[in-house]
């Protein structure tokens, strides 16, 4: 790996006596999109906030762009772009003015900001909305304006917290496409997401975090191959759950999981398992390759974690 843009070492944070971030280390290489995935309350936001100098860790160090957090927080932030999950746009200013004000905040020269605004509005597909205020924008437009704003200082590293949560499929695909353009330009991204398709599509590398610890790390496809059997056969319909106890089927599956009315057979022997299932024509089956969602559920469990 090239010298990392950001290196977080042995981060620890406790709140009210319990470990929220527990000896967490990770790096982001130039041009890389690193995804952080984990259930609610896993410690992702706290980990990112420590990297941004917004939360003081109990232990650990953050080096970013050759500088040290929190000592060099201002110099680091000047080279970072941050898109928080909650909209922090100024409701009283137009889209163009939001970019202008943000550029001034970075101490950029007025002429340089004004040159950049049309390019950024175009990048965010917001040129026709230059004079509109955030209240007049859709959720997807607001998120793209926040991204454009984060790009005003031409940062090398972007920190994006759930960039597509709450967006409809069209807006989500447009955001993915824009992020891919930024990656192609050589920017680096740290992304938290709950969408496994998003993580697989955008991220070169993933950190799976649970209970404040890194429980897996790697390229999405490699993680799937390392932790899971290649095929999943989902079986649903009356009697599906009882089938999980069937000795023949069990012998053909490495693992069987139940969720709701569905039995999931994880297997290296999909053909034989499907043949055995022909003895149960009343059941419906879905045969598919194992995916990142299967990995996530295997590593972090199927039980619900309530909103942290
Ligand atoms: P995630 O982003 O993975 O959902 P968070 O980092 O937001 O996880 O939260 C991890 C845990 O830390 C949660 O249990 C949350 O309630 C707790 N926590 C986060 N910030 C604070 C805080 N400022 N004070 C007390 N507890 C906090």
The Å distance, Cα 202 to ligand 1 centre, comes to: 25
Query: Which pLDDT does position 34 carry in this prediction?
Result: 98
Query: Which pLDDT does position 308 carry in this prediction?
Result: 46
**Which atom, in ligand 1's list, is nearest to the CA of 46?**
6
pLDDT band at 271 (very low <50, low <70, confident <90, very high): very high
Where do the structural domains in the chain lie, given as residue ranges?
Answer: 1-79+155-225, 91-154, 229-289
Identify the residue whose C-alpha is closest to ligand 1 atom 22: 15
Q: Indicate if ligand 1 lies below 6 Å from the C-beta of 208.
A: no
Q: Is the model's pLDDT at 307 over the cut of 70? A: no
DSSP 184-229: HTT-EEEEE-S-HHHHHHH-SEEEEEETTEEEEEE-HHHHHHHHS-
Q: Indicate if ligand 1 lies below 6 Å from the C-beta of 46.
A: yes
Query: Which pLDDT does position 262 carry in this prediction?
Result: 94
Query: Which pLDDT does position 86 carry in this prediction?
Result: 85
3-state secondary structure 151-164: CCCCCCEEEEECCC
pLDDT band at 303 (very low <50, low <70, confident <90, very high): confident
Query: Which pLDDT does position 1 carry in this prediction?
Result: 57
Distance spanning both ends of the chain, measured CA to CA: 34
pLDDT tens across 91-149, in order? Answer: 999 999 999 999 999 989 999 999 999 999 999 999 999 999 999 999 999 999 999 99
**Which atom, in ligand 1's list, is nearest to the CA of 45?**
2
pLDDT tens across 62-84, in order? Answer: 999 999 999 999 999 999 999 99
Q: Indicate if ligand 1 lies below 6 Å from the C-beta of 45.
A: yes
Pull the structure tokens for residue 39.
């259930």
| Assigned fold of 1-79+155-225 | Rossmann fold (3.40.50)
Task: Summarize the confidence of residues 263-276 as an average pLDDT.
Answer: 96
The Å distance, Cα 44 to ligand 1 centre, comes to: 8
Cα–Cα distance measured from residue 188 to residue 43, given in angstroms and rounded to the nearest whole number: 21
Q: Is the model's pLDDT at 305 over the cut of 70? A: yes
Query: Which pLDDT does position 17 carry in this prediction?
Result: 92
Task: Could you list the beta-strand ranges (E) of the chain.
Answer: 6-15, 18-28, 33-37, 59-64, 67-69, 80-83, 157-161, 188-192, 205-210, 213-218, 231-236, 255-259, 262-267, 284-289
Cα–Cα distance measured from residue 163 to residue 253, given in angstroms and rounded to the nearest whole number: 37
Task: Summarize the confidence of residues 240-247 as an average pLDDT.
Answer: 91
The Å distance, Cα 45 to ligand 1 centre, comes to: 7
Q: Which of 128, 7, 141, 131 is nearest to 61 (CA)?
A: 7
Q: Indicate if ligand 1 lies below 6 Å from the C-beta of 193.
A: no
Portion of the chain with pLDDT greater than 90, in percent: 92
Task: Summarize the confidence of residues 186-198 as an average pLDDT.
Answer: 96
The Å distance, Cα 11 to ligand 1 centre, comes to: 14
pLDDT tens across 202-241, in order? Answer: 999 999 999 999 999 999 999 999 999 999 999 998 889 9
| Assigned fold of 229-289 | Alpha-Beta Plaits (3.30.70)
Q: Indicate if ligand 1 lies below 6 Å from the C-beta of 305.
A: no
Portion of the chain with pLDDT greater than 70, in percent: 99
Mean pLDDT over all residues of the chain? Answer: 94
Task: Summarize the confidence of residues 148-173 as an average pLDDT.
Answer: 95
Helix (H, G, I), strand (E, B) or coil at 266: strand
Q: Indicate if ligand 1 lies below 6 Å from the C-beta of 13.
A: no
**Which atom, in ligand 1's list, is nearest to the CA of 40?**
4
Q: Is the model's pLDDT at 306 over the cut of 70? A: no
């Amino acid at each position: 790996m090239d010298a990392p843009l950001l290196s977080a070492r042995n981060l620890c944070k406790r709140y009210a006596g319990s470990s929220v971030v527990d000896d967490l280390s990770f790096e982001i290489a130039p041009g890389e999109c690193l995804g952080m995935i984990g259930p609610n309350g896993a410690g992702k936001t706290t980990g990112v906030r420590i990297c941004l100098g917004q939360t003081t860790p109990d232990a650990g160090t953050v080096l970013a762009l050759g500088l040290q957090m929190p000592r060099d927080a201002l110099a680091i932030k000047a080279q970072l772009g941050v898109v928080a999950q909650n909209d922090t746009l100024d409701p009283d200013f137009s889209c163009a003015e939001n970019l202008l004000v943000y550029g001034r905040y970075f101490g950029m020269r007025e002429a340089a900001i004004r040159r950049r605004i049309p390019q950024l509005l175009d990048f965010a597909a917001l040129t026709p909305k230059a004079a509109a205020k955030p209240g007049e924008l859709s959720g997807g437009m607001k998120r793209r304006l926040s991204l454009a704003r984060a790009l005003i200082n031409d940062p090398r590293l972007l920190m994006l917290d759930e960039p597509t949560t709450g967006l409809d499929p069209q807006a989500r695909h447009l955001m993915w496409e824009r992020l891919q353009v930024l990656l192609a330009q050589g920017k680096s991204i740290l992304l938290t997401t709950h969408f496994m398709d998003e993580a697989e599509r955008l991220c070169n590398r993933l950190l799976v975090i649970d209970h404040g610890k890194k429980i897996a790390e790697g390229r999405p496809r490699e993680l799937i191959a390392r932790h899971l059997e290649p095929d999943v056969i989902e079986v649903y319909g009356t009697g599906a759950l009882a089938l999980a106890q069937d000795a023949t089927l069990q012998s053909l599956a490495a693992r069987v999981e139940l969720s709701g009315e569905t039995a999931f057979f994880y297997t290296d022997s999909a053909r034989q398992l499907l043949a055995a299932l022909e003895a149960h024509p009343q059941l419906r089956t879905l045969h598919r390759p194992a995916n990142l969602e299967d990995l996530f559920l295997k590593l972090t469990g199927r039980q619900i974690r309530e909103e942290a």
